[in-house]
């Protein structure tokens, strides 16, 4: 999942293109209920898939968080709490370079229209 900020909101985009956002200034976990539900559902799906191929245990499933370099701990903290509430304790971080301009504003060379 990638984490960034947009218009004073924390925005999480998952690898299956689901987008969750909440106010960066929010202290309540109420705004993360859908995100926590999504995490729990994904964990169950991963465990079921792993069981079908007989390859993994719950502790072997890892969430990778790609965080924008401009984020502060206050942006990441609710995500860590959501992971804990979903029963996920195995996670890792990688950093993303902040996006300078939106992709809609620029045409990539050679990109199809």
Please tell me the distance from the alpha carbon of residue 9 to that of residue 98, in angstroms, as a whole number. Answer: 15
Query: Would you say residue 112 has pLDDT above 80?
Result: no
Question: Could you tell me the pLDDT band of residue 111, with boundaries at 50, 70 and 90?
Answer: very low
SS3 of 57, please?
coil
The 3-state DSSP composition of the chain as helix, strand, coil percent (nearest 5) reads 40, 25, 40
The predicted structure's pLDDT at residue 37: 94
Residue 19 token pair: 């987008």
The predicted structure's pLDDT at residue 104: 43
Least confident of 10-14, 42-46, 59-63, 70-74: 59-63
Query: Would you say residue 2 has pLDDT above 80?
Result: yes
Percent of the chain with pLDDT over 70: 76
DSSP element (H, E) containing 9:
strand 9-13
Please tell me the distance from the alpha carbon of residue 78 to that of residue 104, in angstroms, as a whole number. Answer: 29
Question: Could you tell me the pLDDT band of residue 106, with boundaries at 50, 70 and 90?
Answer: very low
Please tell me the distance from the alpha carbon of residue 18 to that of residue 100, in angstroms, as a whole number. Answer: 22
Pairing assessment for the beta strands 19-23 and 91-96 based on DSSP bridges: unpaired
Length of the chain equals 113
Cross-strand partners of 93 = 65
Average pLDDT over residues 104-113: 41
| Segment 48-84, tens digit of pLDDT | 877 766 665 555 667 888 888 888 888 889 999 998 8
């Amino acid at each position: 999942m990638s984490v960034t900020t947009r218009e004073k909101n924390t925005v999480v985009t998952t690898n299956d293109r689901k987008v969750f956002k909440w106010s960066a200034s929010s202290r309540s976990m109420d705004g993360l209920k859908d995100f926590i539900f999504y995490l729990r559902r994904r964990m169950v799906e991963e465990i079921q898939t792993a069981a079908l191929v007989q390859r993994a245990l719950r502790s072997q499933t890892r969430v990778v968080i790609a965080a924008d370099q401009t984020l502060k701990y206050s942006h990441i903290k609710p995500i860590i709490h959501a992971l804990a509430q979903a029963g996920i304790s195995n996670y890792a971080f990688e950093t993303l370079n902040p996006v300078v301009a939106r992709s809609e504003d620029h045409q990539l060379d050679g990109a199809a229209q």
